[in-house]
Amino acid sequence: MNRESFRELLVFSLLVAFGVAGRWADHAWNFTPLTAVTALGAFYFRSWLPAILLPSAVLVASDLMLPAHDSLPVLLSVHAMAIVPLVLSRRARGSEGWRRAACWGLCGVLPATAFFLATNFAVWASKSLYAPTLAGLLDCYAAGLPFYRTMLAGDVCFVSLMTACFAAAELLQPRSISQRAAK
């Protein structure tokens, strides 16, 4: 294994460990580093494969110790929405200046919003807890607002922390990290 492959494996493993630990921590619901881990991984890795595998690895590993999802549609919606920060961060990878900053800013807000809309719709569509009416759907979204609020706060907090750490690392080693992101 060459040095670059070893570094990528190490970064992948550390991001998975941080993501899993963040989901296992005793925290307010959905205040986790999953979005930040996914975004940083998508920005860091040249290849799409580790970037795509990263959120799946975090979710699969952490789900081993967490309560099961309510249904298969809910599980699938959670995994699908974990890809949103990946797309935004890959866009940031190819951008500079304010466009990159805008992509990172969207990483703090858009994934939580998409997650809230998609997963609550999946809950409503797959469970009998809410009436299969527009009023039932609105009730489901209203019940999800506290989770949305904490996920939004967690995403903003962790994405800010991760981008600040990445920026600090870039200042300390401008050649290797900047060249990596440019590829």
Terminal CA-CA length for the chain: 21
pTM (2 d.p.):
0.83
pLDDT one-digit tens code per residue, 8-24: 899 999 999 999 988 88
Which has more confidence, 134 or 94?
134
**Predicted confidence band of residue 155 (pLDDT cuts 50, 70, 90):** very high
Q: Is the pLDDT of residue 2 over 80?
A: yes
Q: Give the 3-state secondary structure of the chain.
A: CCHHHHHHHHHHHHHHHHHHHHHHCCCCCCCCCHHHHHHHHHHHCCCHHHHHHHHHHHHHHHHCCCCCCCCHHHHHHHHHHCCHHHHHHHHHHCCCHHHHHHHHHHHHHHHHHHHHHHHHHHHHHHCCCCCCCHHHHHHHHHHHHHHHHHHHHHHHHHHHHHHHHHHHHHHHCHHHHHHHHHC
- Dump pLDDT digits (tens) for 105-144: 898 899 999 999 999 999 999 976 899 999 999 999 999 9
Q: What is the per-residue pLDDT for 66?
A: 80
Looking at every residue in the chain, the average pLDDT score rounds to 87
Mean pLDDT of 74-99: 88
* Token pair of 152 as six digits: 């939004």
- Mean per-residue pLDDT, 98-104: 87
- Is the model's pLDDT at 86 over the cut of 70? yes
CA distances from 111 to 11, 31, 45, 69 (A): 22, 13, 20, 19
What's the rounded mean pLDDT across residues 162-180? Answer: 71
